[in-house]
Structures are given as C-alpha cells and as structure tokens.
Amino acid sequence: MNNRRTYHGLVSARGLLYALGGRVSNYATNTAECYDPRNGKWEYIPPMKTLRSGLTAVVLNNEIYAIGGYGLSSVEKYNLDTKTWIDVPSMNEERWDGSACVVDGFIWVFGG
C-alpha cells in the first residue's frame, strides 16, 4: 500500500483489491487505494467523502460500499465506472468494527 493503514475496509472487484479508509499515522483517513495483482502496484483512487476508521465494506452491482466506522452510521458508495463517491442512506445506528456481506442483492451488517 502507499499508506500503511489499520482498521480499514478491504474488498475485491473486477480482479483488483480496494483498501478503504482506516487509520494512517494514528488518525482516521478517507483515502482509498487500488491494488492490481497483475503489475503489483497500488494506485490511489478518489478519497471517500468521510473519514472512516473501523469501517466494513462490500461490493454490490459493481459499486463499493463503505459502511460505518468509528462513531458513524453513514454509508457511501464508489461507482467503479464513474470513479465517484456518493452518499447513500445511513444505517439506523452507528457501527464500527463490524462485518458485512451481500445476500440476494441486499447488504447485511452485523456487529459493531
């Protein structure tokens, strides 16, 4: 990674790895990076709108969802085609250090 990070989200999409947010130098970050295992290089993608540490993430319909984080109920998604982040409806309560998955087109978030 270009930035050493902890408490970040990590997903795979279209044969690439995406590391989102977390803590860099002990501070929450909104930076995001993409790793291409074919050439072994990390590249930055546009930053998230919100600083997120302890988030979870999933991929649904070719979009990456960054979910929650320390003290957060907000959710945003990254469109892989337009390379933009947009806010989506928040969760009903704050969640961090939880887990998420996609089942039958729905995002499920547990714990946190």
3-state secondary structure 17-62: EEEECCEECCEEECCEEEEECCCCEEEEECCCCCCECCCEEEEECC
34 within some domain: yes
1 within some domain: no
104 within some domain: yes
Could you report the per-residue pLDDT of 41-94, keeping only the tens digit for each?
999 999 999 999 999 999 999 999 999 999 999 999 999 999 999 999 999 999
75 within some domain: yes
For residue 39, give every residue at least 6 positions away whose Cβ sits within 8 Å of its Cβ, in sequence order, or none: none
4 within some domain: no
96 within some domain: yes
pLDDT at 112: 85
2 within some domain: no
3 within some domain: no
pLDDT mean over 84-108: 97
pLDDT mean over 19-42: 97
pLDDT at 3: 87
Task: For residue 73, give its domain range.
Answer: 9-110
Tally of structural domains, the chain? 1
Q: How far apart are CA 78 and CA 24, in angstroms?
A: 21
